[in-house]
Structure 1
Amino acid sequence: MTAPAARDRGGQDAQTRRTVWVALAANLVICVAKAVGGVVTGSPALLSEAAHSIADSLNEVFLLASLKRSRRPADARHPFGYGMERFFWSLLAAVGIFVTGGCFSVFQGVEAFRSGGSAPREGYVIGLAVLALALAAEGASLGRALFQVRRAARAGGRGMVAEIRAGHDPALRTVLAEDGTACAGVLLAIAGISLHMVTGEIAYEATASVLIGVLLGYVAYVLGRAARVQLIGEAATPEVQREVRAFLDRQPEIDTVPALLTMRLAPGSVMVAARVDLTPGYDSETVENAMVRIRREVSGRWPELDQVFLDVTDAAATRRDTASRPSRPS
């Protein structure tokens, strides 16, 4: 990785680390409040939200581990570094959201449907107060994550929606999804408890618990699918690929670009491997200097393309070889 790119990546990692720490602190506080409130009131929606916060807290520990482990330098066994650790731990976080949060929430809702029950008015007040505190804490954490997304969007010259969809940093993407889902889950729990308090029907609160579980399951699926795509080798965006190919085609030393492959190695790190046919007439020293210049310019124009490999062939020799091959009988 080039020095400017490494410094930029390090700065983004520091921002992400702070965002994860803010999310972890918020979740630990509201996890205790939800758990105590859920046990005191017997509220299934509140217990579901406590399970949600436990899942989020564990996942943030995973994300902090991924941020530390992915920064290890490349070695003989891992020549491209450990950047893909981010994607692996993001996948574990998705599994944690589904198992710890989603399944427990659905279970709590089903149990509430089966057992029925109610709580004294004081219990409802406690539950709503705890959820109000949780909404404030989750909202603050979500605001921090959105602030970082906005900064990244400005740096990349695109809108916030486009930045969120790009989602190259799995740790930030996971925190953003967790906090957004947490706010939605708290609102569902507030609605369920309020309707239970007004009507005396626990079905409303049980339904809210099940909906929280379904929401967590869907978010876990989306995060897991994104992590899977990155783990098995995600290419650079089609726009970047077109720009790089056009840049290579404009170079006077390059005749054609028969193949161009890219793969994301880590957030902010992409490998480019291109087979280029050279224009005839250049001596070996000129070609060597040209390849060094081209690699440097590619990394300079697109800082995330920090691993550039050019497989050089002679265009004239390639044409002669093709022409000398016997044609297949029709």
Structure 2
Amino acid sequence: MSLSPSRSAAPPEATPATGPPGGEEETRGTVYVALAANLAIAAAKVVGGVLSGSSALLSEAAHSVADSLNEVFLLASLRRSRKRPDRKHPFGYGKERYFWSLLAAVGIFVTGGCFSFYQGVEALGSTSDSPSGGYAVALAVLTVAGLVEGASLARALWQVRREAAANGRRFVRQLRLTDDPALRTVLGEDGAAVAGVVMALVGVLGHLSTGDAAWEGGASLGIAALLVYVAHRLGKEARGQLIGEALGHRTQQEIHDFLTRQPEIDEVTALLTMRLGPGAALLAARVDLVGGTDSEEVEDVCVRIKRELAHRWSELDHVFLDITDARSARRSGPTQA
């Protein structure tokens, strides 16, 4: 016997949601801050790179242009993921967030990583060892860029700290467990941006002090490697979520234990979960009821269990319970992805 899913907006009781109320608006604000910072910095880096001829600064300019484009992708994902479920997408549009996050990862790789690699190879093959004029501008731009990128990173880390406090978690644990792809992308971009500025400063200062352009070539290649790594990590996470990632093992085990504790349930024979978006998930469980439960009680039992599940785990937007015979079903614990 299979019953229809339930949806509930009940507040969490045992396991808190991934983020506090208003988390999406905070994420939107974080993305806007990052976009404004990257647009201003990209323009300054382009001007400074052209005036100084610094390959490291031009690599950083490409980095900021890529980040700006990605912030536009993330804003689009925040808007599109809020569309209500319809006949074509009955589980909603939450995975739009993961799709646009994947595009952002591709943008970091192509626009930032590939251009920085080209600049590095060109600088290493350069025959000119004397730095051109305008390097004071390059140093000033990189210093200001580091401060602005640092402020944007601090804004994203502040949001993680707020979510950690709301969820009763330590900061590092929240940083690792957050399932908001937009916030993850901003953190990755801003962290890479700060590290990239440091690399560019080292390259420019090394070039100025030694007269060897290989310093800047090495800095550009380092920036390229950093961007490729960030793009790989973000793309891998987005891919896992797009193809249907289960809830964490601990959460699955908690749900399994909760179901087995119900007096009407004899055994949980299968438990499947899938993330539908940040703070939204689907649960499908096959359970065997104890003997003697008549058909009139089944409906009331399932409604109560679904209500309690949504109350304890607020991310469970869709809950399916399938009543079956444990003797003919495969006995198993939580199914892991």
Q: Secondary structure at the match of 1:72?
A: coil
1:293 paired residue number: 304
1:251 pairs with 2:262: yes
2:279 paired residue number: 268
Report the TM-score when normalising by structure 1.
Answer: 0.93
Q: Distance in 1 between matches of 2:202 and 2:121?
A: 18
Residues 1:116 and 1:299: Cα distance change in structure 2 (over 3 Å): farther
> 1:154: Cα distance to partner?
1.7
1:2 pairs with 2:8: yes
Decide whether the 8 Å contact of 1:106 with 1:210 is kept in 2: yes
> 1:156: Cα distance to partner?
2.0
1:327 paired residue number: none
> Given the alignment, which residue of 75, 80, 90 partners 2:86?
75
2:116 paired residue number: 105
2:102 paired residue number: 91
Report the TM-score when normalising by structure 2.
Answer: 0.91
1:119 pairs with 2:128: no
Runs of 4+ in 1 over 4 A off after TM superposition: 4-10
1:310 paired residue number: 321
Q: CA RMSD in A?
A: 1.7
Larger radius of gyration: 1
1:325 paired residue number: none
Q: How does 1:160-171 map to 2 (within 5 A)?
A: 160-171=171-182
Q: Distance in 1 between matches of 2:308 and 2:178?
A: 26
1:16 pairs with 2:16: no
- Worse overlay, 90-99 or 287-296: 287-296
Decide whether the 8 Å contact of 1:49 with 1:185 is kept in 2: yes
Q: Secondary structure at the match of 2:125?
A: helix
1:186 pairs with 2:197: yes
Q: Secondary structure at the match of 2:143?
A: helix
Decide whether the 8 Å contact of 2:20 with 2:166 is kept in 1: no
Residues 1:9 and 1:76: Cα distance change in structure 2 (over 3 Å): farther
CA deviation digits over 1:62-116, x for unaligned, max 9? Answer: 0000000000000000000000011110000000000000000010011111124
Decide whether the 8 Å contact of 2:131 with 2:207 is kept in 1: no
Q: Distance in 2 between matches of 1:18 and 1:214?
A: 29
1:230 paired residue number: 241
For structure 2, the 5+ residue unaligned runs are: 1-6, 330-337
> 1:9: Cα distance to partner?
7.1
Q: Among the aligned pairs, what percent are the same residue?
A: 61
CA deviation digits over 1:148-177, x for unaligned, max 9? Answer: 111111222222222222231000000000
> 1:119: Cα distance to partner?
2.8
Q: Distance in 2 between matches of 1:146 and 1:41?
A: 33
Q: Distance in 2 between matches of 1:220 and 1:290?
A: 47
Decide whether the 8 Å contact of 1:9 with 1:268 is kept in 2: no
Q: Secondary structure at the match of 1:256?
A: strand
> Given the alignment, which residue of 192, 198, 206 partners 1:195?
206
Decide whether the 8 Å contact of 2:11 with 2:311 is kept in 1: no
